[in-house]
């Protein structure tokens, strides 16, 4: 199976899961089991499974065949090259290929001059008028390929302009671009490219990040500290004839996180093995040479041998277009596609299944609580009605008076419930303040000040360490306060259960420590960027400010995610209380209605008892159906990946 076919399977799995979730939501709504918290949980689960993105970052020095590899894996179906791929430098700016339904097929290009401002790259995404947009015709491969050639466009600028744009450092002569005969320096015309394309894989949530070479990566901090670390897979491309060069090693060490984060699949492609296909050498000698380069690359990069895959992207593309199975097998492209599918989709599905299982279990618990409450109310009514058998009208009237008195007492007990909510919300506001935007901005003030200092910043790593320590402390304080809220809710719910016969249970507390792990990854990517090679870039105040703004953007995402879970947790507790209050009020109404029917007709008592028996049976069926639907979701089979050799 090709990567495309395996990704299609992943997309089909997600669509079926989302459909089953929607059917569950419709069923719960029809049976009055959809309170505000349950509805939001269902919407979040459906949104998560429908919009789940899988990003693959392709990283390489120039002329390693990176764009050709992207063409071979993803775009061979067009029957030609789509991404520009030729000798020399092609992708001059970072390029993202994705699909957004409400945006027409287009190529959007951000001018390189935006680097002269300190606004972070993520912030520029919200300023569409600053991007140059070119419409794309997805049904015309020629027009598509021609339009995408713009990502290779360059400008020629003076040394002063190149310095201001971040492409020239007087202190780092070896890594600077060549100066032309006219004294001008070639730089990319565009800072970033966004391609919105209705390609089947992109429509299913695949995002492809095509990065330029070492000099361009170093000049754009957000690539290293934001985009690449957020990729679910990083494909690092080497040339088979050269192996790991000095510049390759610099990219690997300085711009790729190489350990600690098991959520990222890392593959190294030893590309252009066809350059080693020598008619004067035996197939055995050629294979031995390829394996030698493979072993040496794995050793230098400190990777397992199976993470280094020899490939010929060019021959693989030709083989797919010409349907040459023998050439395709010789290119080893299917081996890479299987490794990508297993490493990306396999892990993504495990993560999705875990998240879905947790969410569905919570749904089952919350909806089951409503059913339990209804069942207990019916049991109370049954006991009351059976106790009235053989009683005279006076006793029945006394029963009605007692129910009305209970209802009055219940209505006047709202103060206790209001007090619980008031304390709950007060503590919750403290948490929201800890993780809010103003607090985050204050936490980054010192780091921003340190980075803006002129000259070489020797204490910047220490400043980063102190900043992240404070950020982690904020999460820890939020967790402590959340625990206090949870304990208070548990005690309050226990008291309300005892007084009013509720079945309230404080929802499971969100685990905020896992967001500390996200902060650790962000810190590591930034500290890695603060190495010796970037010390001179950091001496530029505007560059440093862009770096800290990129940091703020990523940390804001982490804090917002934590707040989102806390909000859902809060809604779950409030909705549970609201649902049981409403159910109890309805129960009072049903009990009084039953007494009225008994008073007005001699046969009313037996009819009412029979009616409650029917409703109990209906509740049992409702509970069984809820169990069946949720188990059906949780039991969806996982995709079984088939290795290329077995396909």
pLDDT attached to residue 646: 38
**C-alpha to C-alpha distance for 339 and 271, rounded to whole angstroms:** 15
Report the DSSP beta bridge partners of residue 216.
none
**C-alpha to C-alpha distance for 138 and 376, rounded to whole angstroms:** 60
**Residue 30 CB contacts under 8 Å (≥ 6 apart), including other chains:** none
**C-alpha to C-alpha distance for 368 and 363, rounded to whole angstroms:** 8
pLDDT attached to residue 647: 34
| Residue pair 594/353 in contact by the 8 Å Cβ criterion | no
pLDDT attached to residue 316: 94
CB-count exposure of residue 280 (10 Å: 0-12, 13-18, 19+): exposed
pLDDT attached to residue 642: 47
Phi first, then psi, for residue 117 (nearest 5°) are -110, 155
**C-alpha to C-alpha distance for 149 and 141, rounded to whole angstroms:** 12
Q: What is the DSSP string of 67-105?
A: HHHHHHHHSGGGTS--S---SS----S-EEEE--TTS-S
Q: Left (φ > 0), alpha (ψ -120 to 50) or beta: where does 205 sit?
A: left
**C-alpha to C-alpha distance for 38 and 571, rounded to whole angstroms:** 9
**C-alpha to C-alpha distance for 550 and 576, rounded to whole angstroms:** 39
**Residue 573 CB contacts under 8 Å (≥ 6 apart), including other chains:** 37, 424, 489, 506, 507
pLDDT attached to residue 454: 67
Provide block-wise average pLDDT over 10 residues at a time, the chain (647 residues): 71 82 87 80 80 85 87 87 68 86 92 87 88 91 88 89 81 74 89 89 85 68 77 89 87 69 75 88 89 93 91 94 94 89 73 79 81 82 76 77 82 73 81 88 81 68 86 92 88 84 82 88 79 65 77 89 87 81 82 75 70 88 88 66 41
Quote the pTM value.
0.75
pLDDT attached to residue 641: 43
538-574 burial code (b ≥16 CB/10 A, e <16): bbeeebbbbbbbbbbbbbeebbeebbebbebbbbbbb
Q: Residue 605's CB: how many other CB atoms inside 10 A?
A: 21
CB-count exposure of residue 180 (10 Å: 0-12, 13-18, 19+): exposed
pLDDT attached to residue 315: 95
Strands 190-196 and 206-210: unpaired
pLDDT attached to residue 645: 39
Q: Residue 577's CB: how many other CB atoms inside 10 A?
A: 20
CA angle 299, 304, 308 (to 5 degrees): 80
**C-alpha to C-alpha distance for 341 and 224, rounded to whole angstroms:** 24
Query: Which domains does the chain show, CATH number per domain?
Result: 55-153+189-331 (3.40.50.300), 388-623 (no CATH)
pLDDT attached to residue 420: 73
HEC string of 456-482 equals CCCCHHHHHHHHHHHHHHHHHHHHHHH
| Residue pair 118/549 in contact by the 8 Å Cβ criterion | yes
Q: What is the DSSP string of 544-587?
A: HHHHHHHHHHHHHHHHHHHHHHHHHHHHHHHHHHHHHHHHHHHH
HEC string of 18-77 equals HHHHHHHHHHHHHCCCCCHHHHHHHHHHHHHHHHCCEEEEEEECCCCCHHHHHHHHHCHH
Strands 54-60 and 206-210: parallel
pLDDT attached to residue 238: 94
């Amino acid at each position: 199976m090709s990567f495309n076919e395996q990704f299609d399977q992943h997309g089909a799995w997600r669509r079926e899961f989302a459909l089953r979730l929607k059917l569950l939501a419709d069923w719960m709504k029809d049976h009055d089991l959809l309170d505000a918290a349950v509805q939001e949980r269902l919407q979040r689960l459906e949104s998560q499974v429908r919009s789940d993105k899988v990003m693959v970052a392709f990283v390489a020095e120039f002329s390693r065949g990176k764009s050709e590899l992207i063409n071979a894996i993803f775009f061979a179906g067009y029957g030609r090259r789509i991404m520009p791929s030729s000798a020399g430098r092609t992708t001059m700016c970072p390029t993202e290929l994705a699909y957004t339904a409400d945006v027409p097929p287009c190529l959007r290009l951000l001018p390189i001059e935006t680097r002269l401002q300190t606004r972070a790259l993520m912030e520029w995404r919200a300023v569409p008028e600053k991007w140059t947009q070119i419409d794309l015709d997805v049904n015309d491969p020629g027009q598509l390929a021609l339009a995408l050639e713009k990502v290779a466009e360059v400008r020629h600028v003076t040394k002063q302009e190149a310095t201001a744009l971040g492409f020239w450092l007087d202190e780092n002569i070896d890594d600077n671009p060549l100066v032309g005969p006219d004294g001008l320096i070639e730089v990319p015309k565009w800072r970033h490219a966004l391609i919105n394309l209705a390609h089947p894989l992109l429509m299913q949530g695949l995002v492809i990040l095509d990065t330029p070479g070492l000099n361009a990566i170093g000049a754009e901090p957000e690539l290293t500290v934001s985009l690449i670390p957020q990729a679910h897979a990083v494909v690092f491309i080497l040339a088979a004839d050269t192996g790991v060069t000095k510049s390759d090693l610099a990219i690997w060490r300085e711009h790729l996180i190489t350990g600690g984060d098991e959520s990222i699949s890392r593959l190294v492609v030893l590309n252009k093995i066809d350059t080693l296909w020598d008619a004067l050498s035996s197939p055995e000698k050629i294979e031995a040479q390829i394996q030698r380069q493979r072993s040496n690359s794995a050793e230098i990069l400190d990777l397992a041998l199976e993470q280094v895959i020899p490939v010929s992207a060019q021959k693989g593309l030709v083989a797919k277009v010409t349907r040459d199975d023998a050439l395709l097998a010789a290119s080893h492209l299917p081996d890479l596609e299987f490794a990508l599918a297993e490493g990306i989709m396999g892990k993504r599905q495990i993560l999705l299944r875990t998240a879905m299982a947790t969410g569905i279990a919570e749904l089952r618990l919350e909806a089951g609580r409503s059913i339990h409450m209804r069942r207990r109310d019916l049991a109370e009514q049954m006991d009351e009605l059976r106790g009235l058998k053989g009683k005279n009208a006076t006793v029945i009237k006394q029963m009605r008076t007692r129910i009305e008195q209970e209802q009055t007492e219940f209505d006047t007990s709202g103060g206790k419930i209001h007090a619980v909510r008031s304390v709950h919300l007060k503590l919750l506001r403290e948490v929201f303040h800890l993780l809010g935007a103003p607090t985050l901005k204050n936490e980054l003030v010192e780091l921003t000040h340190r980075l803006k200092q002129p000259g070489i910043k020797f204490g910047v790593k220490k400043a980063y360490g102190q900043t992240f320590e404070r950020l982690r402390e904020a999460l820890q304080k939020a967790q402590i306060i959340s625990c206090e809220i949870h304990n208070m809710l548990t005690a309050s719910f226990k008291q309300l259960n005892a007084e009013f016969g509720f079945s309230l249970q404080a929802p499971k507390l969100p685990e905020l420590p896992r967001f500390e792990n996200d902060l650790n990854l962000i810190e590591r990517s930034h500290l890695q960027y603060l190495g010796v090679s970037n010390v001179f870039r950091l001496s530029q105040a505007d560059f440093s400010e862009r770096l800290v703004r990129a940091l703020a953007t990523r940390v804001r995402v982490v804090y917002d995610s934590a707040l989102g879970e806390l909000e859902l947790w809060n809604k779950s507790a409030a909705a549970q209380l609201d649902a049981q209050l409403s159910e109890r009020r309805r129960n009072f109404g049903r009990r009084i209605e039953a007494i009225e029917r008994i008073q007005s007709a001699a046969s009313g008592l037996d009819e009412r008892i029979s009616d409650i028996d029917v409703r109990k049976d209906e509740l049992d069926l409702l509970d069984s159906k809820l169990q069946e639907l949720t188990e059906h979701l949780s039991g969806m089979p996982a995709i079984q990946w088939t290795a290329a050799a077995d396909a």
